[in-house]
Amino acid sequence: MPSKAGARLMQGNEACAEGAMAAGLRFFAGYPITPSTEIAEELALLLPKAGGKFIQMEDEIASISAIIGASLAGAKAMTATSGPGFSLKQEGIGFASYTEVPCVIVNVQRVGPSTGVPTAPAQGDVMQARWGTHGDHPIVVLCPSSVAETFALIIEAFNISERWRMPVVFLMDEVVAHMREKVTVPDVSQIAVAERPRPQVSPEQYLPYAAGEDLVPPMADYGTGYRYHVTGLTHDQTGFPTTKRIEVDALTRRLDAKMRMAAPHVTFVDEILVDDAEVVVFAYGITARAASRAVRDARAQGLKAGLIKAKTLWPFPDEHVRKAAERARAIVVPEMNMGQLVREVERAAAGRARVVGLSRVDAEPITPDEILARLREV
């Protein structure tokens, strides 16, 4: 039950909640933490109106656990948190990844580590979002840079999660979460909503972890006659534990191959003035807003600058960086951390262009002038 179509002033966190409802969210479990709390508050209000369920759990571990249970029972499910809570959720994220249970985990980044500056923005969780849980695992991480983008992108987060049966991390930052901007809510009929693949065979024939050509095994809801087993132990196609080397190997390789197959469908990148650019900024989240201004200012001053705005951080959009690196002499990577994605940019650029980081870690967003100055240097 999405809110009424039309233009509205919304806060980023509100757009996240509204977008999730539009995507078909029916279960939310969370534990309050700044700067993500408004998402829970909004959903406590909206979910029951749509016949959905909201619960405030006793902690973040309980919250991620509850959404996985809810998803297995057939509901589109989400949790939202920030830094310290995101750390607590890691074991559960690994469980969802390995058992292929769709769910969306929102992390509104704040200054860390530890309690840090709870009310101030940072982009320090980019690597944790990718590798926070133990073990080799695929994951999709999306990152919006505006309130309108938050609304649209959280819908994609659900669609990816359901379509490909994987947890999706939605990595916001404090600025995007708390600022208010115009969002044009589309009519329900204009919103594409994906559903998880469900079994087309009888319970007797159902193999819960046997995948077809798209490498995604159909998923039955609990309570619909398919009495199957789900475990975080390494499992075979039947869903039961295995330690056979060939099966252990096969599971990790299938999940990796599934991610590769999904990659073109889950990679969202905006290229702005990149085609003829001599210098390119690679940015994400609120930093991409400053970068877009910096690029315009540079052009006004006669410097051919361009912007790669990544809305998908993982899988990393290698191809966009590789192509830009072929033409540009340098790529600047401003981040509100000591340099996390800059290393990925460097890897993808593979020496074709100079890659230069720009770090800001004083609890303030990076300004257009700072980026412009770096563009003029390189």
Task: List the one residue from 113, 135, 212, 223 that touches other proteins (CB under 8 A).
Answer: 223
Q: Are 60 and 88 in contact (CB under 8 A)?
A: yes
Neighbour-count burial for 36-70, b at 16+ CB within 10 Å, e otherwise: bbbbbebbeebbeeeebbbbebeebbbbbbbbbbb
Q: Is 347 in the site for other proteins (CB under 8 A)?
A: no
66 binds other proteins (CB under 8 A): yes
Q: Is 284 in the site for other proteins (CB under 8 A)?
A: no
Residue 32 preceded by cis peptide, ω within 30? no
Closer of 234 and 359 to other proteins (Cβ): 234
- Burial of 141-165, coded b for 16+ CB within 10 Å and e otherwise, reads bbbbbbbbbbbbbbbbbbbbbbbbb
Q: Which two tokens stand for residue 61?
A: 């571990």
CA geometry: angle 280, 283, 286, nearest 5 deg:
140
**Residue 62 in contact with other proteins, rule: CB under 8 A:** yes
Tokens linked to 21: 């409802």
**Which two tokens mark 55?**
């619960």
Contacting residue, 232, 242, 322, 347, with other proteins by CB under 8 A: 232
Site size for other proteins, by CB under 8 A?
A: 44
Distance CA 300, CA 267 (A): 30
Residue 312 pairs with which residues in a beta bridge? Answer: 142
- Of the candidate spans 80-88, 231-239, 311-319, 367-375, the one that interacts with other proteins by CB under 8 A turns out to be 231-239
User: Does 53 engage in binding with other proteins (CB under 8 A)?
Assistant: yes
**Is residue 9 a contact point for other proteins (CB under 8 A)?**
no
Contact with other proteins (CB under 8 A): which of 27, 86, 268, 316? 27
Q: Judged by CB under 8 A, which of 6, 113, 135, 241 binds other proteins?
A: 241
User: Is residue 166 involved in binding other proteins (CB under 8 A)?
Assistant: no
Contact 341, 315 (CB under 8 A): no
Stretch that binds other proteins, among 153-161, 229-237, 281-289, 305-313 (CB under 8 A): 229-237
d(CA 319, CA 315): 11
Among 15, 70, 294, 313, binds other proteins (CB under 8 A): 70
Say whether residue 113 binds other proteins (CB under 8 A). no
**116 part of the interface to other proteins, by CB under 8 A:** no
Q: Which of residues 73-92 bind other proteins (CB under 8 A)?
A: 73-75, 77, 91-92
**Options 3, 11, 36, 71; binder of other proteins; rule CB under 8 A:** 71
Q: How far is the CB of 225 from other proteins (least distance, A)?
A: 5
Contacts of 265 (CB under 8 A, 6+ apart): 160, 163, 164
Contact criterion met (CB below 8 Å) for 103 and 67: yes
Q: Which helix (H) or strand (E) segment is 265 a member of?
A: helix 245-266
CA gap 234, 95 in Å, rounded? 11
13 contacts other proteins (rule: CB under 8 A): no
- Does residue 49 interact with other proteins by CB under 8 A? yes
Q: Is 135 in the site for other proteins (CB under 8 A)?
A: no
What are the phi and psi torsion angles at 86 (to 5°)? -65, -40
Binding residues vs other proteins (CB under 8 A): 26-27, 29, 45, 48-49, 51, 53, 55, 57-59, 61-63, 65-75, 77, 91-92, 95, 222-233, 240-241
